Amino acid sequence: MLKPGDAAPDFEVPNADLEIIQLSDFKGTSGLVLYFYPKDDTPGCIIESIEFSDLEEEFEELGYPVLGISRDDCESHGNFRDKHGLSVRLLADVEGVMCEAYGVWREKEAHGVVRAGILRSTFVIDKEGAVTHALYDVKPKGHAVKVLELIKADA
C-alpha cells in the first residue's frame, strides 16, 4: 500500500478518447487526483464519478485535475462517460498495471465468493509526483467532497 510521502508510481494508459495519459504530463505543473473504481456503470461507481465530475471545476481551480481509473476498456469508458454526462477523464488500465502499482488490486469476498477486484481508492499527488493522501477502501457517496476538503486543507 502507498502512503503519504511515497513517489506516485508512473503510468502510461489510454483514456476514453484513446489519448495516452501519463503521470509525467502533470509533474511540475499541477497536482493530481487519481480515483480507482471497480467497474463502469455500476451503482457506486456512477455516484462517485458523477460527484467528482460535479466538482471537477473546483479541483481544477486548485490545480488538481481528476482522473478515474478502472480495468474497463476505452470503449466502455466512453459509453459510461456519455451515458452519465461525466466530465472527468477516465483511464483504461485493462492489464491492471496501475492497479497493481497503486496497491488497489485485491482479493475481495462478496456473497461467499472470493475474487480479485479493485478496492475503491483515491490518491492525491502533488506536482512533484509525491503521494500526499492515500485513501483505501472508500465509500462512494460524499467521497469527492472529502477529497476536495483535504486538498483545501493542504493549501
Which residues participate in catalysis according to the annotation?
45
Under 8 Å between Cβ of 112 and 123: no
Cα–Cα–Cα angle for 148, 152, 155, nearest 5°? 140
Under 8 Å between Cβ of 34 and 135: no
| Residue 72: CB atoms within 10 Å | 23
C-alpha to C-alpha distance for 1 and 74, rounded to whole angstroms: 27
Under 8 Å between Cβ of 33 and 59: yes
